[in-house]
Structure 1
Amino acid sequence: MKTFLRRLAILDYLRSSKVQKSTDDILNHLISSDYLDAAGKGGRSGDSVADSAAVRRTIQRDLNFLYGAKDVLNEEGDNDFGLEASRGTGKSLLWSLDPYSTLAYDFEKMPTYLALSFAMTQKHLSDIMPKNTLAEMERFFKNADTKLQKEASKVSPQQFGRLKESVEFYQRGQRLQAANYDIAVLDTIYRAILKSKQLTFSYRGKSYRVHPFGVVILLPKLYLVCKKHEDIEKPNEYRNFLIHKISDIDVATQASRVPESFNLKAYLDDGNMDVFIDPDDRAHYHLVLRFTIAESSNLIADLAENPISDDQQLKQINELQYELTAKVKRTIQLKNWIMGLGRVATIVSPSIIQQDILAELNALMSNYSDYETPL
């Protein structure tokens, strides 16, 4: 019982502090609070204030237990208390509690727009949140729902029912069912990113050790963006792993090396998740695309509002024809988009992208060479 109370006192002491505390700070607090007394009776037989080394070992065992690992700087602990450790002066350790675990909030004063934001966060992001974050957010979700229930008295039940159902994520084009993935895998990736650690895992029968750079959601798939350890010095050797195919994942003890200059959005904007028709050809091309549009089409308005590149230009040639110019790369995504436009789009230039489309059309037609063409 004394051991339990002493460990509870350690957590309470750290929770009440806004700064990190050293092991000695914790030890002195326990002594002054009579959890370790001058008579030498601590939580374990043989503990004595006079025997400082033995007492320190006792407190260190307590801290290791609360953290969930013996080597707190290099091992991923099974930490349910939000305890965090970092290197202090020399070989000393500094301890604190995850600030989110001590967060207080006056839910009665929660504005309705914030309650709705929490409700929508719960609906759309719960499946991809880190486990600890989701656990901490549960009280916000619960109280947000209570707030919205109270607001329901001010509007009709039909209006209230629409609040959380008013926004959905959806895929454009042919909808694909999302593959099932292990939430524990995603949670391990998040922990490695937060702690700046490397990851080890199996992927399609091979073992990898990687430096995690981030997680990308491309509906309906989730990807881990990373570099293999042996490629960490190479500037553009990124790998994108499908998270639902990752297994046997662990946070490694080694620190990851992610440059401060790395920006995941810039990585995506540069087309690094695109699939190239020719992996050796990543050059930019000046695309000129001509459209012959029916009066009822919204294609031109869509392209004006959602351009395919930052430098896209749209010019009307005559009543029914428009010309689009843009800087593009030869990607599968571009090829599929142009083919999806059908007969309304004609590639004026460059010839290499014309050939990409013609090659695909010829291959497609060959699939039906044994079928009779209807009269």
Structure 2
Amino acid sequence: MTDTLLRHWVMLRRIPRHPRKVTVRELLDYLRDQGYTTTERTIQRDLNRLSGQIFGLMQDDRSRPHGWCWGRDAVQMDIPGMEPQTALAFKLAEHFSGRLMAPSTRSSLEPYFRQAEQVLAETPSPVSAWPEKIQSTTRGQSLIPPAVDAGILHVVYDGLFNDRQFRARYQRRYDGEVRDYVISPLGIVFRDGVVYLVCQRNGQDEVVHLAMHRFLEAEGLDEPVHRPADFDLSDYVHRGGLNFKLSEEPLAITLRVTAETAVHLEETPLSEDQRMTAEVDARRQLTATVPDTAQLRWWLMGLGDQAEVIAPDALRDELIGRIRRALAQYQ
């Protein structure tokens, strides 16, 4: 009886979740490798007995040979059971990282998320209320994230997982023109609710980023991605790749900032080489070397009268022109 129970347990652990399947013959070979002597008929009989409401096993009668799998919504069964702290980790991962996961990854974790929800609901301790005590937010204006087609998202993530190219139709932002590309995906970046694909197009060496919600169609290809040897996604982002770079040369900027803004920038510096010196009117002078990007302009304009650009002259003149045009709209 003990040997049968162990054989059942080993067999159940080998069965995948829908849509993947395993055949009786594959289970037989696996059990023999694990030291259990049995037959295909015995395994088929065991599967028929174990399927149903308790274990939620399914047989696909359409395929030949027939395949077995756990149902998509079958309860995740673990021995030992999930501890409250583990359940909390899954719940936080679902809350804060759900959108970062590929659809296939999230689908495979859904049973754990639901099990975690059940464990926390049944746990008579303050730990069950922990997800309600944590939130994340952005300093900028909250915006509703654009919708991304689920089928397109699947194609893109599949290409990233398997280092495969895909063919896509994309609508450009600045002129609305629709273009067809063969894309080599290199990475995904999430920024303020918008998902960007970092990639190369049509065999070109240039690395660009495309907003996922502007893809109109996508179809996977069998062609491998030729990833640049020196490409690093973290370095691409750090160097301002997503900030709409205006030039490859960095800017050495000098700002005069209020005491309040100075405190903020001392805690969260603009760059590694940032320096501050005091001025006579309680303001501070700041120097830093930063990427030359459109994002830098938006940030400086957002500071309003909290910051004044001293250098370089070209940047100062550009912001003066923007401020004058903005003022003219209110006069």
TM-score (norm 2): 0.73
Secondary structure at the residue paired with 1:287? strand
Q: How much has 1:166 moved relative to structure 2?
A: 2.7
Q: Give the AA of the match of 1:245.
A: R
Counterpart residue number, 2:282? 320
Give the count of matched residue pairs. 276
Name which of 252, 259, 267 aligns with 2:236.
267
Counterpart residue number, 2:269? 307
1:12-27 equivalences under 5 Å are 12=27
Supply the distance in 2 between the matched residues of 1:273 and 1:34 (Cα, whole angstroms): 56
Q: Give the AA of the match of 1:307.
A: P
Counterpart residue number, 2:24? 9
Supply the distance in 2 between the matched residues of 1:335 and 1:17 (Cα, whole angstroms): 66
Change (3 A) 1:314 1:190: same
Name which of 176, 197, 201 aligns with 1:228.
201
Counterpart residue number, 1:363? 325
Supply the distance in 2 between the matched residues of 1:364 and 1:168 (Cα, whole angstroms): 35
The question of whether the paired residues in 2 share the 8 Å contact of 1:330 and 1:353 is answered with no
Counterpart residue number, 1:176? 143
Name which of 195, 219, 224 aligns with 1:255.
224
Change (3 A) 1:186 1:7: closer
Supply the distance in 1 between the matched residues of 2:179 and 2:26 (Cα, whole angstroms): 42
Q: Does 1:344 align with 2:293?
A: no
**What whole-Å deviation, never above 9, does each CA across 1:34-75 have from its counterpart, x for those lacking one?**
79xxxxxxxxxxxxxxxxxxxxxxxxx969x98xxxxxxxxx
Unaligned stretches of 5+ residues in structure 1: 1-5, 19-31, 36-60, 67-79, 83-102
Change (3 A) 1:241 1:81: farther
Q: Does 1:215 align with 2:188?
A: yes
Secondary structure at the residue paired with 1:186? helix
Q: How much has 1:317 moved relative to structure 2?
A: 2.9
Q: Does 1:154 align with 2:120?
A: no
Name which of 203, 208, 212 aligns with 1:239.
208
Change (3 A) 1:244 1:332: same
Change (3 A) 1:343 1:11: same
Q: How much has 1:355 moved relative to structure 2?
A: 1.5
Task: Please identify, of 211-220 and 128-137, the stretch whose mean Cα deviation from structure 2 is larger.
Answer: 128-137
Q: Give the AA of the match of 1:290.
A: R
Supply the distance in 1 between the matched residues of 2:293 and 2:202 (Cα, whole angstroms): 28
Supply the distance in 2 between the matched residues of 1:81 and 1:218 (Cα, whole angstroms): 37
Counterpart residue number, 2:84? 112
Q: Give the AA of the match of 1:262.
A: F
The question of whether the paired residues in 2 share the 8 Å contact of 1:171 and 1:220 is answered with no
Change (3 A) 1:143 1:356: same
Q: Does 1:289 align with 2:255?
A: yes
Q: How much has 1:261 moved relative to structure 2?
A: 4.1
The question of whether the paired residues in 1 share the 8 Å contact of 2:168 and 2:219 is answered with yes
Percent identity among equivalent residues? 21
Secondary structure at the residue paired with 1:347? strand
The question of whether the paired residues in 2 share the 8 Å contact of 1:128 and 1:183 is answered with no
Supply the distance in 2 between the matched residues of 1:311 and 1:195 (Cα, whole angstroms): 39
TM-score (norm 1): 0.65
Q: Give the AA of the match of 1:325.
A: T
Secondary structure at the residue paired with 2:203? helix
The question of whether the paired residues in 1 share the 8 Å contact of 2:148 and 2:212 is answered with yes
Name which of 80, 101, 109 aligns with 1:137.
109
Supply the distance in 1 between the matched residues of 2:83 and 2:22 (Cα, whole angstroms): 38
Change (3 A) 1:11 1:212: farther
Supply the distance in 1 between the matched residues of 2:101 and 2:313 (Cα, whole angstroms): 46
